[in-house]
């Protein structure tokens, strides 16, 4: 059974409920990392839940909302949130600044080409290579920032952000947006913990020095895609904790249900799309789903989106937080895992082996 573009699942144990063993083969030149991933119980959904998270933002624990959050995370792995507390003016300002940046000549943008820390400009039409059977070209360009940190030989994914010359508005807009949406991330973290029956602060320790990345995306129109390895973003599941996505009104995001059908996640005003990543699926021991998705911009217009990839600290060990069974699962280092995945997904970043 195929799971996204990076994780291969096959059943090995029925006795432990949802346990499946996966092989995540990260083919660095010197090693292959093998990890286990519990299978999610994602259903044959056709619609994505829309949740008003106002009470969670206010610090309340509304059991109805927490239950709905659990169902969305378990059955779909995607949800919309409204009443999230983030100003839409911040979003619009960043979208406009990003559009200006992407309209610059390629040579200008390439001056800040993406570095081995995944910070900088990701060129249009980048090619992912994840083995002979899994290579793809994504018709997307992006610009990434992370938490601005000095280079550190002990923390290979830390480094200073790169910024384009003469575009202070982009820098200002990205930093304001990063701050605001990372606050929302902390709210959602608390919700996920409560939904899993964990202490509400259970996730906080994992995000003390996060590898969170903010990215702005531009997708040129693509009306006649012929293969799913040659589209806006090729099918994949997100690698980290979870993602908070703003998308414009072009549409094009699709998510895959358990039957393999692609289900549209259309734009809804004043919402963010939330989806869980592989690490949250592992933390939740398969109760929550890291669901494959893709983007095809058939709108005849330039599409813009803004994902915040909420990723834990590089130095933490990842293992299920619920019903951990050392016979069926191992603990692995998040930073190594993330770096190996980024190396395969973004060869243009030239992450050393």
Q: In this structure, are residues 217 and 234 in contact, taking their beta carbons and an 8 Å threshold? A: no
Q: Which is nearer to Fe ion, 54 or 347 (CB)?
A: 347
Distance set, CA 103 to CA 113, 137, 217, 220 (Å): 15, 21, 12, 11
333 φ, ψ (degrees, to nearest 5):
-80, 130
Closest CA to 176 of 91, 272, 269, 273: 91
Q: In this structure, are residues 23 and 36 in contact, taking their beta carbons and an 8 Å threshold? A: no
- In the complex, minimum distance from the CB of residue 110 to Fe ion, in angstroms, rounded to a whole number: 24
Q: In this structure, are residues 332 and 316 in contact, taking their beta carbons and an 8 Å threshold? A: no
Q: Which is nearer to Fe ion, 115 or 238 (CB)?
A: 238
> Cα Rg for the chain, rounded, in angstroms?
19
Look up residue 253 and give its two tokens: 């995001």
Distance set, CA 277 to CA 16, 199, 247 (Å): 22, 20, 18
Residue nearest to Fe ion (CB): 238
- In the complex, minimum distance from the CB of residue 11 to Fe ion, in angstroms, rounded to a whole number: 26
Provide the residue count of the chain: 353
The span of 73-81, 122-130, 193-201, 235-243 binding Fe ion (CB under 5 A) equals: 235-243
C-alpha 144/C-alpha 158 separation (Å) is 13
- In the complex, minimum distance from the CB of residue 7 to Fe ion, in angstroms, rounded to a whole number: 13
The span of 114-122, 161-169, 232-240, 256-264 binding Fe ion (CB under 5 A) equals: 232-240
- In the complex, minimum distance from the CB of residue 309 to Fe ion, in angstroms, rounded to a whole number: 8
- In the complex, minimum distance from the CB of residue 230 to Fe ion, in angstroms, rounded to a whole number: 17
Q: Which is nearer to Fe ion, 163 or 309 (CB)?
A: 309
C-alpha 43/C-alpha 41 separation (Å) is 6
C-alpha 4/C-alpha 158 separation (Å) is 27
Residues in region 236-275 near Fe ion by CB under 5 A: 238
Task: Please tell me whether residue 130 binds Fe ion under the rule CB under 5 A.
Answer: no
Q: Which 3 state secondary structure label does DSSP give 76?
A: coil
User: In this structure, how many other beta carbons lie within 10 angstroms of the beta carbon of residue 55?
Assistant: 15
DSSP assignment of 156-214 equals TT-------TT-HHHHHHHHHHHHHHHHHHHHHHHHHHHHTTS-TTTTGGGGSSB--EE
Q: Which is nearer to Fe ion, 237 or 329 (CB)?
A: 237
- In the complex, minimum distance from the CB of residue 233 to Fe ion, in angstroms, rounded to a whole number: 7
Q: Which is nearer to Fe ion, 141 or 238 (CB)?
A: 238
- In the complex, minimum distance from the CB of residue 294 to Fe ion, in angstroms, rounded to a whole number: 8
Q: For Fe ion, how many residues bind (rule: CB under 5 A)?
A: 1
Q: Which is nearer to Fe ion, 212 or 329 (CB)?
A: 212
Q: Which is nearer to Fe ion, 158 or 238 (CB)?
A: 238
Q: Which is nearer to Fe ion, 194 or 349 (CB)?
A: 349
Q: Which is nearer to Fe ion, 119 or 128 (CB)?
A: 128
C-alpha 43/C-alpha 33 separation (Å) is 29
- In the complex, minimum distance from the CB of residue 236 to Fe ion, in angstroms, rounded to a whole number: 6
Q: Which chain residues interact with Fe ion by CB under 5 A?
A: 238
């Amino acid at each position: 059974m195929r799971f996204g573009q990076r994780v291969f699942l096959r059943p090995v144990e029925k006795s432990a409920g949802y346990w499946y063993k996966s092989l995540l083969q990260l083919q660095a030149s010197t090693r292959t990392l093998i990890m286990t991933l519990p299978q999610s119980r994602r259903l044959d959904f056709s619609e994505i839940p829309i949740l008003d998270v106002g009470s969670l933002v206010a610090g309340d624990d509304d059991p109805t909302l927490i239950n709905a959050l659990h169902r969305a995370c378990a059955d779909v792995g995607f949800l919309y949130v409204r009443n999230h507390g983030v100003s839409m003016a911040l979003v619009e300002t960043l979208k406009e600044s990003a559009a200006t940046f992407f309209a610059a000549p390629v040579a200008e943008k390439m001056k800040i080409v993406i570095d081995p820390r995944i910070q900088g400009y990701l060129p249009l039409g980048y090619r992912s290579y994840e083995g002979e059977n899994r290579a793809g070209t994504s018709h997307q360009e992006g610009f990434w920032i992370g938490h601005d940190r000095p280079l550190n030989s002990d923390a290979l994914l830390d480094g200073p952000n790169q910024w384009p010359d003469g575009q202070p508005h982009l820098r200002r807009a990205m930093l304001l947006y990063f701050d605001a949406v990372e606050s929302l991330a902390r709210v959602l973290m608390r919700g996920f913990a409560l939904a899993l029956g964990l202490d509400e602060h259970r996730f906080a320790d994992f995000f003390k020095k996060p590898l969170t990345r903010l990215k702005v995306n531009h997708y040129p129109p693509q009306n006649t895609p012929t293969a799913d390895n040659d589209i806006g973003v090729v099918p994949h599941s997100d690698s980290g904790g979870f993602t908070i996505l703003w998308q414009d009104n072009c549409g094009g995001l699709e998510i895959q249900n358990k039957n393999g059908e692609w289900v549209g996640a259309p734009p809804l005003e004043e919402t963010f799309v939330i989806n869980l990543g592989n690490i949250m699926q592992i933390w939740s021991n398969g109760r929550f789903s890291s669901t494959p998705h893709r983007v095809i911009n058939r709108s005849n217009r330039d599409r813009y989106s803004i994902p915040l990839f909420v990723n834990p600290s590089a130095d933490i060990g990842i293992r299920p937080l619920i019903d951990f069974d050392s016979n069926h699962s191992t603990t692995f280092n998040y930073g190594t895992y993330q770096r190996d995945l980024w190396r395969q997904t973004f060869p243009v970043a030239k992450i050393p082996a």
